[in-house]
Amino acid sequence: MDALFDHGRPRRVQLCVLIDRGHRELPIEAAFIGRTVQTTDEEIIEVKLSEVDQEEQVLFGGAYIVAHGANPLITGA
């Protein structure tokens, strides 16, 4: 937030997230959400992108989530 205000005060800030875990520590909520996945505080979601990891994958604990069009599938690893 400080980096945004270094360039002046914006009229509006909208947040976009790939995965929304539902946990809120600050009064900030994403306006655009790729997928919502309920997790505990201890569970980890790892997003892999082809530009960095040479594959596109969302890992959730021992399972991975694969998006086929608008319908996500959750399968065990």
Task: Quote the domain boundaries for residue 12.
Answer: 2-76
Indicate yes or no: pTM above 0.75. Answer: no
The number of helices, as runs of H, and strands, as runs of E, in the chain is 2, 6
pLDDT digits (tens, 9 = 90+) for 31-63: 999 988 888 888 888 888 889 988 888 888 755
The answer to whether the beta carbons of residues 31 and 16 sit under 8 Å apart is: yes
What total of structural domains would you count in the chain?
1
- Could you tell me the pLDDT band of residue 16, with boundaries at 50, 70 and 90? very high
- pLDDT range class, residue 64, cuts 50, 70, 90: low
Q: Each residue of 14-51: b (16+ CB within 10 Å) or e?
A: eeeeebbbeeeeeeeeeeeeeeebeeeeeeeeeeeeee
- What is the CATH number for 69? 3.40.50.2020
